[in-house]
Amino acid sequence: MSRNSVIAGQAGFSFGGFLFGQTARYAFNLLVARMLGAEFLGTYALAVAVIQIAEVFAVAGLDSALLRFINLQGTEPLRRKEVIGSALKTSFLFSLCVFLLLVLFSGPIASLLNGSGLLQLALCCYAAALPFNAAVSLSGHAIQGFRNLQPKITAMHVVSPLLLLILTLLFRYAIGAEAALCFPFALSAAGTFLWIRPRLSGITGTVSRDILSSRIDRAMLSYALPFMGVSLLGMTTHWLDIVMLGMFTDTATVGMYHPAARTAGIIRSVFIAFSGIAAPMIAELHAGSESGEIERIFRMVTRWIVSIIIPGTVVFMVLPDTVLGIFGPRFVPAGRALFILSASSFLQAAFGLAATVLAMSGHARLSLLNALSALVLQAALNLLLIPLLGVNGAALSNLVVFLLLSLVRVAEVRVLLHIHPFGMALWKPLAAGLCSAAALVAARPLLHGLSPLLSLVFGVVLTLAVYLFLMLLLKLEEEEKEIIFKVLPFINKQSGR
């Protein structure tokens, strides 16, 4: 099987999971916004930001360490179970410590983020999810170490968000608004753990006795801690705009900004799906000094990512008020922030593979330095711009940081590896995207009289129709045809008649 097919096939499953998870989480945000309002949504966003940053300490980098240490054991099942049991037990102990600290300091954290007693209550309730979330993450990575990605993707991107959505609806109509905000998060985490636990036992053979009798593996923990630092850096960068908006504004402003950030994040999820599959291939090719093949994959995957994200980027940037209008009139003022964040997410997705290439080609320290510099710059810009511009300041900081980071990463790859992501065929999706954007801009006055949902549907249909027509008119590359025939084999059979 060609590398093209492997990347597309595995990324297709991964992206399918991401897409379902994004849709369910998007529906959850829409539900909270419509039923509970901006202040409740802001409280949720701030609580989740704190919990996900804290969760990095609970997992402690053991997710990455598991993938390595499971495979180091070869075909020794007992030793593999010891490794998995040790990781789960260590993480559980860390989770309890982090849970207690969060409950103890929930009041000061809520005050720092200008939240009310509701935020403090949400922090305490969400902290109860930490042991379950950490166990789900490690169980998924342990199963992945046995060459099975499906349970991890299903648990984290299907079961968890779907349970959260369903439980929120049940609590909202059975008990009330505050219960719907506070309780489903931990309950959905517990439900996801109950779903993946028997699959961990069935695939890896690890049972409760193995976890209870295991010892802390100091070698694995020492290997894992640097990964915890990298994860902490990435998670802090991801939530920095939300946290600093909370520090300088209020929960209602955070709630108004959060749908814009979540919407723009859909663009970035395409890159995540492809980079996870391309990374080990790039590492293998670098070990074999196959720089030409690295550049080919670099250009090909970049073109695929750009081709997929352009329609969504066009809709979000041309119709930002319409997109946010489906959350309610209260969220429309964040339309400019969505425009800016969409541009930022496009840069992250289009040029993010440069970071993957750097890390997989032996430049992990440089990648870490890039990320650390970006975090410091974003914090400084937020300090300057949020008090002046509010949500638009947070979005603008994000755009400036990722514009500079994209330029730096592409330059570093060019200087260090003598490759770049810009193939000749890249002009096709860019040209089709510009034309579809022009068509949507021309049609925008006709859409203003419609409801936000109907206007959005017509805008999406028009953008996709123009974009796909032009992409077909400009002719697909042979690599794209190979993938389409693999995913939709009946087309190949019909064309061969």
Range among 128-132, 290-294, 418-422, 477-481 with highest mean pLDDT value? 128-132
Reported confidence tier of residue 133, pLDDT bands at 50, 70, 90 = very high
Least confident residue range of 306-315, 364-373, 402-411: 364-373
Does the pLDDT of residue 82 top 80, yes or no?
yes
**Exposure b/e, 418-446, CB count within 10 A at least 16 = b:** ebebeeebbebbeebbeebbebbeebeee
Chain segment 24-57, per-residue pLDDT in tens = 888 899 989 988 889 999 999 999 999 999 999 9
Residue 13: the pLDDT is: 62
Q: How far apart are CA 63 and CA 156, in angstroms?
A: 14
Domains in the chain: boundaries: 36-228, 249-489
Query: Between the CA of residue 111 and those of 106, 118, 244, 473, what are the distances in Å?
Result: 9, 11, 13, 57
Residue 64: the pLDDT is: 80
Residue 287: the pLDDT is: 65
Residue 48: the pLDDT is: 96
Reported confidence tier of residue 281, pLDDT bands at 50, 70, 90 = confident
Residues 451-480, mean pLDDT to the nearest whole number: 86
Range among 71-75, 254-258, 468-472 with highest mean pLDDT value? 254-258
Does the pLDDT of residue 373 top 80, yes or no?
yes
Q: How far is C-alpha 201 from the chain's CA centre? A: 28
DSSP secondary structure of 363-381:
-HHHHHHHHHHHHHHHHHH
Q: Which two tokens stand for residue 323?
A: 């997109």
C-alpha radius of gyration, the chain, whole number:
23
Q: How many CB atoms lie within 10 A of CB 173?
A: 10
Looking at the chain, the whole-number percentage of residues with pLDDT higher than 90 is 51
Q: Are 64 and 54 spatial neighbours (Cβ–Cβ below 8 Å)?
A: no
Reported confidence tier of residue 386, pLDDT bands at 50, 70, 90 = very high
Residue 455: the pLDDT is: 93
Residues 363-381, mean pLDDT to the nearest whole number: 87
Looking at the chain, the whole-number percentage of residues with pLDDT higher than 70 is 90
Residue 487: the pLDDT is: 45
Q: Are 319 and 442 spatial neighbours (Cβ–Cβ below 8 Å)?
A: no
Does the pLDDT of residue 480 top 90, yes or no?
no
Angle at 9 between CA 347 and CA 344, to 5 degrees: 10
The structure's pTM equals 0.86
Reported confidence tier of residue 59, pLDDT bands at 50, 70, 90 = very high
Does the pLDDT of residue 257 top 80, yes or no?
yes
DSSP single-letter state for residue 215: -
Does the pLDDT of residue 434 top 50, yes or no?
yes
Does the pLDDT of residue 350 top 50, yes or no?
yes
Does the pLDDT of residue 60 top 80, yes or no?
yes
Least confident residue range of 84-88, 206-210, 275-279, 487-491: 487-491
Q: Are 348 and 269 spatial neighbours (Cβ–Cβ below 8 Å)?
A: no
Residue 297: the pLDDT is: 82
**Mean of the per-residue pLDDT values for the chain?**
86
